[in-house]
């Protein structure tokens, strides 16, 4: 289908504006992982216990749920690009606030503001990309959101590592006027600045322009992004016809017979919850702690965490190459099966851990098996649920409810992420193998859910959804 593009500058332009919109995903990945490196420094600096530190790590996710919940409405009121600019500014300001906290509580406040900005961006990116991308390329372009998330995670781990090395390996050491962990949190202002810059340069979504009566401008944008052989008048009247039956969607538009919501909205919510309940973020928030808990030293555990990020990026590229070829459903099911097997294997391996002279260790070959199984889990997640859920959420809802439904589904995802993040330390202390077995069970259930409820959206126009 790529042959439709008689002029490649069209496709290059579309790739540029979708990549720019997906920088919000980079902020999400960067912020969620940067705390991993700073957490020990914060705990020591403010002399707080594990409850307070868990609170500070997880509170950003509740801010994100709120940002995702309101982001869809703001996108319909202010436009997609203006909302991105607001999110970028909020994120930049919160980075400075996190860098210079007076106490652990105002640090928590700035984490909520950062979370709110990221929650907004997590809705704006997929919605905008789905609205500017031509159907033949929508899956691959929609994957940019997840690609940016995994790049953000990897870059923040690298930046943290460099800052820690410059500070002599201790995040509480001073680098100039500030401690190393403060520089880690402050570094977030750089990607925020890029996001703002790009949000100021990309065009508004044609669907939003038509919605707000600026048809002439919408035509110009469509001419930039659609293949040359598409009749622009047809496209505009098709979008107008769909929009005519619409008004700005609110939560009441999502009401339906299935426990108060439309079935398609529930499918989006459950996909979001499963994406988190397989435990993927445990690997990224607590991985260095996890590997230390089974007897691997601190330096090596940071290196293992970074290698997981590289595997995550490789898996994401595999997904991008396959999502428009084999479709959304088959990829999800392959991923679910692979995750279930690798998580169950990790659970079995962790069950062999022993306490020797007060330290936990994994005997061979279980140590190697646990490491391989954990990385296979990351790979299977990245090539399926990591990418495909974001692609589906951007395209599976009918036009008239897309922004509102995406907001609700993304909010569900953040709350699920929060629940897993908050519960893991206590569950792992009680029984690490059983915790992993629980994640394996969710992976198995996700396979059955996709088989029964999820419809294929590959190659269909957004106007046909519903």
pLDDT tens digit string along 383-407? 999 989 988 887 888 877 887 888 8
**In terms of residues, how long is the chain?**
466
**Is pLDDT larger for residue 223 or for residue 254?**
223
Output the CA angle 164-24-90, nearest 5 degrees: 80
Helix (H) or strand (E) holding 356: strand 354-356
Which residues fall within 8 angstroms of residue 137, CB to CB, at 6 or more apart?
2, 11, 14, 324
pLDDT of residue 8: 47
Closest CA to 216 of 227, 230, 204: 204
Whether the Cβ atoms of residue 268 and residue 405 lie closer than 8 Å to each other: yes
| 37, 171 contact by CB (below 8 A) | yes
Does the pLDDT value for residue 246 go beyond 60? no
377 touches 310 (CB < 8 A): no
Q: How confident is the model at residue 5 (pLDDT cuts 50, 70, 90)?
A: very low
The predicted pLDDT at position 271 comes to 96
Higher per-residue pLDDT: 319 or 291: 319
Q: What is the pLDDT of residue 105?
A: 93
Structure-token pair, residue 391: 């692609």
User: Residue range 264-270: average pLDDT?
Assistant: 93
Averaged over 44-70, what is the pLDDT?
85
Q: List pLDDT tens digits, range 81-129.
A: 999 999 999 999 999 999 999 999 999 999 999 999 999 998 898 888 8
Distance between CA atoms of residues 130 and 14, nearest Å = 11
408: pLDDT strictly greater than 50: yes
Helix (H) or strand (E) holding 177: none
pTM of the model: 0.78
pLDDT score recorded for residue 245:
65
Percent over 90 (pLDDT), the chain: 37
Place of tokens 């436009």: 79
Percentage, residues of the chain above pLDDT 70:
90
Backbone φ and ψ of 461, nearest 5°: -70, 150
Which residues are CB-contacts of 142 (< 8 A; sequence separation ≥ 6)? 126, 129, 130, 133, 323, 390, 391, 394, 395
How far apart (Å, rounded) are the C-alpha atoms in residues 12 and 2? 12
Could you write out the three-class secondary structure of 247-269?
CCCCHHHHCCCECCECHHHHHHH
Report how far Cα 58 is from the mean position of its chain's Cα atoms. 15
| d(C-alpha 184, C-alpha 175), whole Å | 11
Residue 244 confidence (pLDDT) above 80: no
Q: What is the mean pLDDT of residues 43-67?
A: 85
């Amino acid at each position: 289908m790529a042959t439709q593009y008689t002029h490649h500058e069209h496709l290059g332009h579309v790739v540029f504006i979708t990549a720019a919109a997906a920088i919000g995903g980079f902020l999400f990945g960067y912020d969620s992982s940067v705390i991993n490196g700073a957490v020990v420094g914060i705990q020591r600096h403010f002399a707080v216990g594990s409850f307070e530190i868990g609170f500070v790590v997880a509170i950003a996710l509740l801010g994100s749920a709120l940002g995702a919940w309101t982001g869809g409405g703001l996108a319909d009121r202010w436009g997609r690009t203006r909302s991105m600019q607001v999110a970028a500014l909020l994120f930049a300001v919160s980075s400075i606030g996190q860098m210079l906290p007076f106490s652990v509580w105002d640090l928590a406040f700035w984490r909520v503001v950062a979370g709110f900005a990221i929650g907004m961006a997590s809705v704006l990116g997929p919605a905008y990309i789905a609205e500017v991308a031509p159907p033949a390329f929508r899956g691959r372009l929609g994957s940019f959101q997840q690609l940016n998330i995994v790049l953000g995670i990897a870059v923040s781990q690298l930046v943290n590592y460099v800052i820690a090395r410059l500070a002599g390996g201790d995040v509480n050491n001073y680098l100039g006027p500030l401690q190393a962990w403060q520089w880690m949190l402050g570094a977030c202002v750089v990607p925020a600045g890029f996001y703002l810059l790009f949000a100021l340069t990309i065009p508004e979504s044609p669907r939003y322009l038509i919605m707000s009566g600026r048809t002439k401008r919408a035509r110009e944008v469509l001419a930039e992004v659609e293949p040359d052989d598409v009749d622009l008048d047809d496209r505009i009247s098709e979008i107008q016809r769909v929009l005519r039956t619409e008004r700005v969607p609110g939560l009441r538009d999502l009401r339906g017979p299935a426990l108060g919501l439309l079935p398609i909205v529930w499918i989006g919510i459950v996909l979001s919850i499963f994406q988190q309940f397989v435990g993927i973020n445990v690997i990224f928030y607590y991985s260095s702690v996890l590997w230390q808990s089974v007897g691997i030293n601190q330096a090596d555990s940071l290196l293992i965490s970074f290698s997981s990020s590289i595997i995550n990026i490789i898996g994401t590229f595999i997904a991008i190459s396959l999502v428009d070829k084999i479709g959304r459903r088959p990829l999800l099911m392959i991923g679910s099966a692979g995750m279930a097997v690798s998580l169950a294997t990790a659970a079995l391996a962790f069950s062999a851990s022993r306490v020797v002279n007060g330290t936990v260790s994994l005997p061979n070959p279980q140590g190697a098996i646990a490491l391989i199984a954990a990385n296979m889990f990351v790979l299977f997640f990245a090539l399926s649920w990591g990418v495909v859920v974001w692609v589906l959420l951007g395209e599976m809802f009918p036009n008239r409810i897309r922004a509102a439904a995406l907001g609700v589904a993304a909010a569900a995802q953040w709350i699920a992420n929060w629940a897993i993040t908050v519960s893991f330390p206590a569950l792992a202390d009680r029984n690490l193998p059983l915790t992993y077995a629980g994640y394996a069970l969710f992976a198995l259930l996700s396979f059955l859910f996709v088989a029964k409820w999820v419809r294929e959206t590959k190659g269909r126009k957004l106007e046909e959804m519903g």
